[in-house]
Structure 1
Amino acid sequence: MTLFEELKTAAADDWADYTHHSFVQQLGAGTLPQAAFRNYLIQDYLFLIQFARAYALAAYKGDSFDDLAKGQAGLQAIIEESELHVRLCAGWGISREQMESAPEHPATVAYTRYVLDVGMQGDLLDLHVALAPCVIGYAEIGNRLKPALDANPEHPYAEWIAEYSSEDSQQMADDATANIEQLGARFLSDARFPKLAQIFATATRMETAFWQMGLDLGAAEE
């Protein structure tokens, strides 16, 4: 198994809770309340600002031009991803400025600052393990939901599913998996795996909490 697969196996229950959360299931079925999706998108836009900072930190933590290039590529990909949120929210008359001025939900703060804290305290391997549930998990979810889009081109969440099932998203996930494997060859020891597994499981549980936040905010508007 790759290092990522080992981490995923060690956190199997947490990973299943995240990737099969009710938010995801409803999104795929097209039954997710619009208010839940809208609130999620706004918070995810704020989330991506902090994740972009995490990739900038990854570049700073690098000690080779290859490390720097990977940090830069991750940062650029996050900036491009944020445009999906801008386009979708514009359809509800919500501007970029309104999104940026929205208050961060505690779930957004907890998750993003955890990743940044892991990166500040640890090395590149710690940081990329903390980033992995988002980068790789969204591609896995997008790929699993793609048949729903293929079956219904008028799917209410077609653009979101198309984004995360796209070749670019799948390639980014593959690159992230390969990068963790390479960093493991540089930094991993048997004694260190339990800490990495803890980081991965914690970040995965925070992804689950992020989905739940979307459902809760949507329910509050009903």
Structure 2
Amino acid sequence: MVSTHEILRNLVSDLWNKYTRHEFVERLRDGSLPMDVFRYYLIQDTKYVKEMQKAVIKAASKAPLNEAIDVLTAVFSNVERGAEVHERLFRDLSITEDEVNNTGFNLVNYAYTRHLYYYASLGWPQFLAAWAPCMWGYHEIGRYVVGTRNELFNVWAGFYASNEYWSRVEAILRALDKYEVTPDMERAFRDSVNFEIMFWEASLRRDPTVLY
């Protein structure tokens, strides 16, 4: 029997490949991504993660208790490894928390995080479908990029390729697989994959940012 998360990915297989093998990803892998682009991306991604975590908590309030506990425990416990990677990258690239806080969202990032909030308000299964492409895709990308000649890109990829990170993804996919695919879930998943593609492109361009 095909799982819900596999059905969703199969429905957008062409887009999934564009997301996980985007030019941004390929340039991480071959080490040719300009460091100012990577720095820009890290700042935008940090802002995204903060908003994403708020959306997770909002969505979990609508979830069955056992599912909420399983997912929240996986995602928010044992975060030391992620924090260490974050601190290493920020230190080596001279990124400060003040700089992150004083930098606006690019429009893709702003729209993507509003998209997550919308599905968090709509329902738990819909939110899981909207959230899964980010978490699941980054594990695939991390495994693809790890081993790159660029030390910082390798540190970044190593976290997403790790078993620790995969345990978070598994909890999300396990919860998602309890539900049958609906049109809302397919739309949420597809739109998130498109947002991930646009996130890479906005980073390559280093799009202007706006405060809100």
Q: TM-score, normalised by structure 2?
A: 0.88
Structure 2 equivalent of residue 162 of structure 1:
158
Q: How far apart, CA to CA, are the structure 1 residues paired with 2:10 and 2:66?
A: 32
Q: How far apart, CA to CA, are the structure 2 residues paired with 1:143 and 1:205?
A: 21
1:171 lines up with 2:171 in the alignment? no
CA distance 1:26–1:93, change in 2 (3 Å): same
Structure 1 position 87, deviation (Å): 3.0
Q: What secondary structure sits across from 2:182 in the alignment?
A: helix
Mapping 1:68-87, distance limit 5 Å: 68-76=69-77, 81=82, 84-87=85-88
* Contact 1:36/1:217, CA 8 A, preserved across alignment: yes
Structure 2 equivalent of residue 217 of structure 1:
206
Q: Return 5+ residue gaps in structure 1 as ranges.
A: none
Structure 2 equivalent of residue 30 of structure 1:
31
Q: How far apart, CA to CA, are the structure 2 residues paired with 1:202 and 1:80?
A: 30
* Contact 2:116/2:127, CA 8 A, preserved across alignment: yes
Instruction: Report the structure, 1 or 2, having the larger helix content.
Output: 1
Q: How far apart, CA to CA, are the structure 2 residues paired with 1:85 and 1:21?
A: 23
Structure 2 equivalent of residue 136 of structure 1:
136
Q: How far apart, CA to CA, are the structure 1 residues paired with 2:120 and 2:62?
A: 8
Mapping 1:96-107, distance limit 5 Å: 96-107=97-108
CA distance 1:171–1:63, change in 2 (3 Å): closer
* Contact 1:58/1:71, CA 8 A, preserved across alignment: no
| TM-superposition CA deviations, 1:105-152 (whole Å, max 9, x none) | 11110111101111112x110011100010100001111223x34xx4
Q: Return 5+ residue gaps in structure 2 as ranges.
A: 208-212
Structure 1 range deviating more: 203-212 or 170-179: 170-179
Structure 2 equivalent of residue 16 of structure 1:
17
Structure 1 equivalent of residue 124 of structure 2:
124
Q: How far apart, CA to CA, are the structure 1 residues paired with 2:45 and 2:38?
A: 10
Structure 1 position 155, deviation (Å): 3.4
Q: What secondary structure sits across from 1:157 in the alignment?
A: helix
Q: How far apart, CA to CA, are the structure 2 residues paired with 1:209 and 1:200?
A: 14
* Contact 1:55/1:75, CA 8 A, preserved across alignment: no
CA distance 1:7–1:65, change in 2 (3 Å): closer
| TM-superposition CA deviations, 1:198-221 (whole Å, max 9, x none) | 110000000000011110018xxx
Structure 1 position 50, deviation (Å): 0.5
1:206 lines up with 2:195 in the alignment? yes
CA distance 1:135–1:78, change in 2 (3 Å): farther
Q: How many residues align?
A: 206
CA distance 1:124–1:65, change in 2 (3 Å): same
Q: What secondary structure sits across from 1:32 in the alignment?
A: coil
Structure 1 equivalent of residue 184 of structure 2:
195
2:177 to 159, 175, 181: 181
Q: TM-score, normalised by structure 1?
A: 0.84
| TM-superposition CA deviations, 1:66-123 (whole Å, max 9, x none) | 42442354345779746633431222322112112211111110111101111112x1
Structure 1 position 174, deviation (Å): 2.1
CA RMSD of aligned residues (A): 2.1
